[in-house]
Amino acid sequence: MLQTMWLKPGESPDSWAIGNPEAILTVHRAYAEAGAEMLTACTFGANRIKLSHYGLANEVAALNHAAVKLARQAGGNNVRVGGNLGPTGKLIRPLGELSFEEAFDVYAEQVMALTEAGVDYFILQTMIDIQEMRAALLATKQYGRVPVVCQMTFEASGRTVTGTDPATAAVTLEALGADMIGANCSLGPDQLLPIIEKMVAATALPVCLRPNAGMPMLQDGRTVFPLSPEQYAAWVPRIVDAGVTTIGGCCGTTPAHIAAVRDALRGLQPVTVESPLRQAHCLTSRSSTVYFGTGFPIRIIGERINPTGRKAMAAELREGNLATVKHDALAQQEAGAAILDVNAGVPGIDQPALMTRLVEDLSQLVTLPLSIDTTDPETLEAGLRIYPGRALVNSVSAESERLEKFLPIAKKYGAAVLCLPLTSGGLPADARERVDTVKQIIDAALALGFRRKDLLLDALTTTLAAN
């Protein structure tokens, strides 16, 4: 719409919040008058990396404040205004050159500006990389104070450009603290419908869908979208039946499309879709989800990536050599392991730095979820922070330090937790005492907001032969 109002090629749309506010107001008002209940501020590219292309890297706060004010002015009291965060345009290591912490800082700056501006919600959208979405979501949860919507963008293959499938994205983002998840952009409603069905099946969160008005085509040098408002709105009943509770539009969807959607929704009620996956225990990597528990196969955890008692591996790790680690990771994956345990416990080295490197490299090498195995809270946080999925924490005992330090870190990063019936005095000899010990861990975890499906148990059964 801004292009029809003489937005020049190479000009930042986000800059118009200050440079051409009447145009932004006109667009917002058109959608509000069409019946939209939620508006997204014109801040999709108002992060300092994107703005740096236009010489506006120092205008993050000013542009975000102005954009929110315009959306609020256009929508009035009956419309919720969202802080709109889009991709930086750079991939995070090891897929690209941007570090995870740089991405986090970029989003944190924009989130703080949008929070000051008073948004009603955040919408993190059109993300092709789950790791970039994680950085944005962590920044939003830390510096924002309102609900967060997370929308990934998928290819026709059913995965994002960097390989994440819909269920894996849903599980990862729900555990990390998103309030609503969904998909937007890149595809029309026909192609996004089966993708969103997989998301609905994998999460208990409300789900949002914002397709394009079909696949774009080039006509007379202009990009056009083929679906008319009536053709677009014809998909609304099927989208509602799939379990979607929030519907909108992305590229090519004009105010007329939104008005047609609003008309198509009249008389429809949200549909509850039942799915056994929502109650299952699960872990994720960047590209896969492993379900386990009742009704699922027994899963094997490979525990070879551990320098304890392996002098040669420990010596290699001191030298920064990961050859044996990588060999063992691939061998365990080939042998049928479903999860890989990763331990960086080499005395006398920087274990957080080593864990960061191990997790980065292994996440690129294998498709299996990881279990972060450490007794050091700093090393635990280093591994979980950089991990592009939902990991397992190995492990948490009933010792006060573990409960006070490990559980909050696991909760912050959406990890599952392996509980051990150990106390500061060691393993209780009596089975009843072990059960009571585990209950202490469960109670502490539930008090922090963990769900029961987030918790696993290693019963530490003593063998007859040994004890």
Residue 258 has pLDDT above 80, yes or no: yes
The bridge status of strand 339-343 relative to strand 370-373 is parallel
- The three-class DSSP label of residue 445 is helix
Q: How confident is the model over 24-55, as pLDDT tens digits?
A: 999 999 999 999 999 999 999 999 999 999 99
List, in sequence order, every residue forming a beta bridge with 284; answer none if it has no partner. 289, 390
The bridge status of strand 217-219 relative to strand 222-224 is antiparallel
Q: What value does the mean pLDDT of the chain take? A: 96
Q: How confident is the model over 429-451, as pLDDT tens digits?
A: 888 999 999 999 999 999 999 99
Average pLDDT over residues 129-154: 98
Residue 466 has pLDDT above 90, yes or no: no
Strands (E) across 329-381 are located at: 339-343, 370-373
The whole-number pLDDT of residue 219 equals: 86
List, in sequence order, every residue forming a beta bridge with 457; answer none if it has no partner. 419
Q: In which band, very low, low, confident or very high, does the pLDDT at 9 lie, cut at 50, 70 and 90?
A: confident
Residue 463 has pLDDT above 90, yes or no: no
Q: How confident is the model over 353-406, as pLDDT tens digits?
A: 999 999 999 999 999 999 999 999 999 999 999 999 999 999 999 999 999 999
Structure tokens at 60: 């993050």
> Based on the number of CB atoms within 10 Å of its own CB, is 265 exposed (0-12), middle (13-18) or buried (19 or more)?
middle
Q: How confident is the model over 202-240, as pLDDT tens digits?
A: 999 999 999 999 998 988 878 889 999 999 999 999 999
Q: In which band, very low, low, confident or very high, does the pLDDT at 125 lie, cut at 50, 70 and 90?
A: very high
The whole-number pLDDT of residue 467 equals: 62
Interior angle at CA 373, CA 369 and CA 376, nearest 5: 135
pTM over 0.85: yes
The whole-number pLDDT of residue 407 equals: 98
Q: How confident is the model over 51-65, as pLDDT tens digits?
A: 999 999 999 999 999
Q: How confident is the model over 150-203, as pLDDT tens digits?
A: 999 999 999 999 999 999 999 999 999 999 999 999 899 999 999 999 999 999
